[in-house]
Structure 1
Amino acid sequence: MTTRRMTVGQALVAFLGNQWTVDGDVRERTVPGMLGIFGHGNVAGLGQALKQANVQDPALMPYYQARNEQAMVHQAVGYARIHRRRATLAATASVGPGAANMLTGAALATANRLPALLLPSDTFATRVADPVLQQLEHPHDLGMQVTDVFRPVSRFFDRVQRPEQLFSIALAAMRVLTDPAETGAVTIALPEDVQAEALDVPEEFLAPREWHLRRPLPERWALTAAVEAIRSAERPFIVAGGGVLYSGAEDALRAFAEQTGIPVGTTQAGGGALPWDHPQYLGGVGATGTTAANRLAAEADVVIGIGTRYSDFTTASRTAFQAEGVRFVNVNVAAFDAYKHGTELPVIADARETLEALRGALGGHRIPAALADRVAAEKRSWDAVVDAALAPTGAELPGQSEIIGAVQAASAPRDVVVQAAGSLPGDLHKLWRVRDPLGYHVEYAFSTMGYEIAGGLGVKRGLEALGDDRDVIVMVGDGSYLMLHTELVTAVAEGIKIVVVLIQNQGFASIGHLSETIGSDRFGTRYRYRDAEGVNFERGDFLPVDLAANARSYGIDVVEIAPGADAVARLSEAVAAAKASPTSTLIHVESDPFLYAPDGEGWWDVPVAEVSELESTRTAREEYMEQRRRQRPLLG
């Protein structure tokens, strides 16, 4: 057997550079680059390996800088989604706090079922210098370290304690990374001494290797049962999730919906599964959904879930599906999701393969004419509501709906809007008119504040790798911006062009509104000076923080939209100019946080205090209990 003498770090870099994902006729590098921040834990291991690779073969494993370890994982996730889970980026961090900073990103990747390869450093495997800098010490377990915290937030975790373990661990990690049913955060902990140790590496380990994405066909019994349920349904309804896009099933979904007439609602991850103006598309479904989708979902006797994990937002905390005896046909590549709600109709298979099989088996079957008329009427009604919500009002401070309208008007059909947290995901789910399968990128499984800018960079990196020049428009509120804005430096340093629309509303608009609904009157959600007399932040003046100046200090182009009756028009012009610019632009606009998007008749279960001395809380409790009476005791 031919071998090469290499360090663990060098062998891992060379191995990753030769892994390929194959999805039908598409073949691309599984891990085409590595993000990193170096410290004493990884500079001599992976850091040296990346430097060596850069000298010998710069294309093998390009290195990208980052300013925050959490943001590295967000970039990897943004990259993975735009590549439909066929490719992602690796991220390396130093021991201790560097590794710990990646944990939020790991949880985000796993919650979203999106691949990200994490390579956190660990303390000395030999323990020759115990305790080293940044090492934890537990008297009951001397081997427990920061990296052990990755176990519950990863789909795969292992630690390379000896150089020889690298081979089996790396191969097992790749298997999970490229498995549609298992993917998420894949973590390989690398002790800092082991990274620099040498071993004889078989050429076979370093040779190009292909990982074929599994696209399982529906089993005959499952397909037959699903067809019978759909044929017998009087009011079927489709919930399209992210799995539709990851399997490239949007065309199959369109053909299926057009053939049968069955209405479609999408989850946050499923945005783009159908274009907004498709006759069968009723918009988002659930807590942040539209009246059109929610009304049809409430009456559905058969719900066809395709590639959805049925989060509480999708089910409106189990109030969305109200029909007595409602049945669920759950199409999902993951058995865990296919069996949800105690269904007896799981179809554990690929979304595209299943939709094509269902279309063939159903033949000329169509929904009743009365239901088709109802779908068209509800769609017309909601479209009119959105038209009104997006239109400028001429107010001094525009509402968020108007801001979304201004950005939408200036965007191109194939542009990608990126968002994650605050009130924007709910408003976008209702109002953003998606025109392209990849045009809607809202991270809402973990809804991580700070994801937006870093995730937008990952999306843009992914598009550039595909030779796609569409624009990426990041929308972010001031609260989320303050959580993680330093990746603007990365955009400037690498010349990565994104358009950032920063909405300033002096606090946490989403939680402020939620606080009102549970009777706490926006307590602790405003950005104001502390009121010494009231011992709170309720009455002080607004803070003089200048977020536009902050962004400008990073070297990015900044446009400030001053309040005024024409603010919405000037915002739309600024977005158009930013799209025409070759460099990144941040557009700062102030908004009125008390102007809300139209109600979509969805609900979200956030418990209200059972007893309180506050009248506002007692009133909120009564309303909460009224909503809870609508919850369905669905199994699973």
Structure 2
Amino acid sequence: MSAETVRLTVSQALVRFLANQWTERDGERRRLIAGTFGIFGHGNVAGLGQALLQATEEDGVDMPYLLARNEQAMVHASTAYAKLSDRLSTYACTASIGPGSTNMVTGAALATVNRLPVLLLPSDVFATRSPDPVLQQLEDTKALDVSVNDAFRPVSKFFDRVWRPEQLIPSALAAMRVLTDPVETGAVVLSLPQDVQAEAWDWPVEFFRDRTWTVRRPAPDAAELDAALEALRGAEKPLIVAGGGTVYSRATEELRSFAAAHGVPVAETHAGRGSLPWDHPQSVGALGSTGSRAANHLAAEADVVLGVGTRYSDFTTASHTAFGNPEVRFVNLNVAAMDAAKHSAAMLVADARTGLEALHDELGSWSADPAWTRRATRLAADWQAVIDGAKRLDHGPLPAQTEILGALNDAMGDRDVVINAAGSMPGDLQMMWRSRDPKQYHVEYGYSCMGYEIAAGLGCKLADPSREVFALVGDGSYLMLASEIPTMISEGLKVVVVVVQNHGFASIGALSESLGSQRFGTRYRYRDDESGLLDGDVLPVDLAANAASLGANVLTAKTVTEFKEAIEVAKDAEATTVVHVETDLYSPGLPESAWWDVPVAETSELDSTRAAYQTYADHKRTQRHYL
């Protein structure tokens, strides 16, 4: 070995390289890859598995390894870690060839949809092809270089297969560039053939030096800034839509100052929830299909909409029906040009913080019409009264879901984190949750992936052990992916898992009913011999017993009062604790004030479907492009 090179396997080199990658923004320097989740099999046990062992035992390389129980779950945990870390740090995930690796595809899609960085290291077939076809290898008659890992390509921001050791150098550097780019970030995949993982090569020592990747804060272009200012100065009824970019950019203080100085009401997306404290004078709550009546009424009248770090998903725009003013104009402040250009907007391609600072400085004493600001305040206060009512329904004999969510919200501290992703709870949460901290509301609603919640609890606790983490999960999501409870326990991490059981899919059941499909196939029931449908007795599923069998402390509650008491006990516990409560599948939610486009059968023999289609057609008439 010469002074300029060191002989290592590809896996050993990759681990050493990853341990020396850093991010920096505003003077804060962090490890880019904080550790590695993994599940070993014949594709990586002698490659990355050996390298991670050697890094710890012999080389003094700082690369913590965590044993996950499910490959999809470890990607979710890494993504949640990145979300709580404002995209400045994440985990790597390694899995074996075949099903181990393809189990990560769903996690990759979630990360990319939500624009959160995660590094995936799936194992692959032999580069030499000597033993082909190996166990779990896909054989494609059209191309011998295709494997199941090609499924990652459409759901990742960067994909490369490392066929030779020396290819790792440009591939690894490109991977770090994408992970740290606020515009391009998402799932990054380095597919590693199992023989290449164990192959040795003489690596330039320079490859392993410390590298710091600056996370940029681009300033707005002067011409774009002028156009944005012109639009805002001409507004009589302006509205701000705060998205996830506001939080990731740490622009929440700038947003609060801007809104207060200029009297502009602020509505929030799921990812932007908590950008303002819920009781800030300009906060009007959530916007869109599961938004507050206050925000949606204002959106219907707004003449200029300033989007800050939002990608305008269909839930935010109520499927292009939320903004009802025929003359509405958009100004979109976004680091990504793709999002800034949406709705024929005046584009302001910049970092959320630098963009808001520039707008604030140039607007001077300009402010919204005081009557508009006062109207927003009144609507927001009226909506808070609706929330108070939903928290105190006195529903029985089983409690309503809104009562449980309200009790949890009341019990949590400002810095605590609530996690959710799928079912009816994201809708109720967005409408009623009262956040003071921009990190408290952690609802994954870009992909809305069932099973995200418990794994995300693990990731959030790793990202900030000082915060209490509450993983809020329905019985449907729990049954799909509760595997990381043992991981929490083995790592000595305390997460409170709140399991809300209603013996069915409440969200899709209610949607099915509204679309004329009569809740078909949405309840957990025995099959009825006479009807042939799944509408018999309730299944005897005991999720509390299941959680106990995984090693968690378990508390059960039957009433709202018992639930409040159980949460207090769980908060004082030192280990992962599951609080189980049963709610009424048919309990009322909060009043809806917007629409979501889910097509209804255009022709049907069912009266319920025909009626639903007429309602659907009425809503479709209000849908439009914003041009």
TM-score (norm 1): 0.97
Q: Superposition pairs for residues 306-385 of structure 1, below 5 Å? A: 306-343=308-345, 345-385=346-386
Q: Distance in 2 between matches of 1:45 and 1:24?
A: 37
Greater Cα offset, 597-606 or 75-84: 597-606
Q: Distance in 1 between matches of 2:487 and 2:207?
A: 33
Q: Distance in 1 between matches of 2:403 and 2:621?
A: 34
Which 5+ residue runs of structure 2 have no aligned equivalent?
none
* Structure 1 residue 532: Cα displacement: 2.4
Work out which of the residue numbers 496, 502, 505 in structure 2 matches 1:505.
502
* Structure 1 residue 210: Cα displacement: 0.2
Q: Is the 8 A contact 1:80 1:115 kept in 2?
A: yes
Structure 2 counterpart of 1:335, which letter?
A
Q: Which residue of 1 aligns with 2:98?
A: 96
CA gap 1:530/1:266 in 2 versus in 1, 3 angstroms: same
Q: CA RMSD in A?
A: 0.9
Q: Is the 8 A contact 1:389 1:401 kept in 2?
A: yes
* Structure 1 residue 410: Cα displacement: 1.3
Q: Is the 8 A contact 2:16 2:61 kept in 1?
A: no
Q: Which residue of 2 aligns with 1:174?
A: 176
Q: Which residue of 2 aligns with 1:527?
A: 524
Segments of 4+ in structure 1 off by > 2 A? 56-59
Deviations 1:559-580 (A, max 9, x none): 0113xxxx11111111111111
Q: Distance in 1 between matches of 2:549 and 2:450?
A: 22
Aligned length: 625
Q: Which residue of 1 aligns with 2:156?
A: 154
Structure 1 counterpart of 2:538, which letter?
F
Q: Superposition pairs for residues 476-487 of structure 1, below 5 Å? A: 476-487=473-484
Q: Distance in 1 between matches of 2:45 and 2:597?
A: 47
* Structure 1 residue 533: Cα displacement: 2.2
Q: Is the 8 A contact 1:411 1:576 kept in 2?
A: no
Structure 2 counterpart of 1:544, which letter?
P
Structure 2 counterpart of 1:23, which letter?
R
Q: Which residue of 1 aligns with 2:418?
A: 417
Structure 2 counterpart of 1:111, which letter?
V
* Structure 1 residue 56: Cα displacement: 2.6
Q: Distance in 1 between matches of 2:70 and 2:329?
A: 45
Q: Distance in 1 between matches of 2:454 and 2:334?
A: 30
SS at the partner of 1:33?
A: strand
Q: Which residue of 2 aligns with 1:549?
A: 545
Q: Which residue of 2 aligns with 1:496?
A: 493
* Structure 1 residue 392: Cα displacement: 5.0
* Structure 1 residue 59: Cα displacement: 5.9
Q: Is the 8 A contact 1:322 1:632 kept in 2?
A: no
Q: Is the 8 A contact 1:73 1:91 kept in 2?
A: yes
Deviations 1:22-51 (A, max 9, x none): 011110000010000000000111000000
Q: Is the 8 A contact 2:513 2:519 kept in 1?
A: yes
Q: Distance in 2 between matches of 1:496 and 1:318?
A: 43
Q: Which residue of 1 aligns with 2:387?
A: 386
SS at the partner of 1:314?
A: helix
* Structure 1 residue 140: Cα displacement: 1.3
Structure 2 counterpart of 1:537, which letter?
L
Structure 2 counterpart of 1:32, which letter?
A
Deviations 1:368-416 (A, max 9, x none): 1110110111011001111111125152211110000111121111110
Structure 2 counterpart of 1:494, which letter?
E
Q: Superposition pairs for residues 551-570 of structure 1, below 5 Å? A: 551-562=547-558, 567-570=559-562
Q: Which residue of 2 aligns with 1:191?
A: 193
Q: Is the 8 A contact 1:110 1:154 kept in 2?
A: yes
CA gap 1:348/1:120 in 2 versus in 1, 3 angstroms: same
Identity among equivalent positions (%) equals 58
Q: Which residue of 2 aligns with 1:64?
A: 66
TM-score (norm 2): 0.99
Work out which of the residue numbers 226, 245, 255 in structure 2 matches 1:243.
245
Q: Which residue of 1 aligns with 2:604?
A: 612
SS at the partner of 2:62?
A: coil
SS at the partner of 2:578?
A: strand
Which 5+ residue runs of structure 1 have no aligned equivalent?
none
Q: Which residue of 2 aligns with 1:470?
A: 467
Q: Superposition pairs for residues 17-56 of structure 1, below 5 Å? A: 17-56=19-58
* Structure 1 residue 633: Cα displacement: 2.3
SS at the partner of 1:120?
A: strand
Q: Is the 8 A contact 2:263 2:370 kept in 1?
A: no
Deviations 1:52-75 (A, max 9, x none): 011035661000010000001000
Q: Which residue of 1 aligns with 2:462?
A: 461
Q: Is the 8 A contact 2:179 2:186 kept in 1?
A: yes
Deviations 1:146-182 (A, max 9, x none): 1101000000000000001000000000000000000
Deviations 1:72-115 (A, max 9, x none): 10001110011000000000000000011000000000000000
Q: Which residue of 2 aligns with 1:576?
A: 568
* Structure 1 residue 7: Cα displacement: 0.3
CA gap 1:58/1:593 in 2 versus in 1, 3 angstroms: farther
Q: Which residue of 1 aligns with 2:75?
A: 73
Structure 2 counterpart of 1:121, which letter?
S
Q: Distance in 1 between matches of 2:618 and 2:395?
A: 37
Structure 2 counterpart of 1:28, which letter?
R
* Structure 1 residue 361: Cα displacement: 0.3
* Structure 1 residue 510: Cα displacement: 0.6
Q: Is the 8 A contact 1:411 1:575 kept in 2?
A: no
SS at the partner of 1:43?
A: coil
Q: Distance in 1 between matches of 2:621 and 2:404?
A: 36
